[in-house]
Amino acid sequence: MPGSVPGHGPSLRLDKFLWFTRLAPDRSSAQALAERGIVRLNGRRIERAHAPVRVGDLITFPQGAVIRVVRVEKLPARRGPASEAQLCYSAITPGIAPAQQGSAQS
């Protein structure tokens, strides 16, 4: 269930958001992804699975051979079907392969 931090609006743990929205296959994978320090939340490197995610946040993370950037549109209350999960975020980039990312910055 989304929590609430006074003055900051509702939030949800990063690992739960990744799992609920099906960006990670299971909760333990989402937790490991967050704790490895390879996820960025609004440009800041995250090393803890309990980092709060809020509507409007940008999440950047590797998924296979691509780097994904998604914007949080709403906080899910549960892990539902894929069609429901996709309504909770919008893809900022369709996924950039690391080799393409270097050439895009030149």
Q: What pLDDT is attached to residue 105?
A: 53
Range of the domain at 10: 3-104
CB neighbour list of residue 56: distance below 8 Å, 6 or more residues apart: 71, 72
Q: Which two tokens stand for residue 73?
A: 């549109």
- Kindly report, residue by residue over 58-80, the tens digit of the pLDDT: 999 998 888 999 999 999 999 99
What's 36's domain CATH number? 3.10.290.10
Give φ, ψ of 30 to 5 degrees.
-65, -40
From the list 9, 15, 8, the residue with the least C-alpha distance to 35 is 15
Q: How far is CA 97 from CA 60, 61, 103, in A?
A: 13, 12, 10
Question: What's the number of domains the chain is made of?
Answer: 1
What's the pTM value of the predicted model, to 2 decimals?
0.80
Cβ neighbour number for residue 38 with a 10 Å cutoff: 15
Selection from 82, 36, 65 nearest residue 15 by Cα: 36
Residues of the chain with pLDDT under 70: 1-7, 94-106
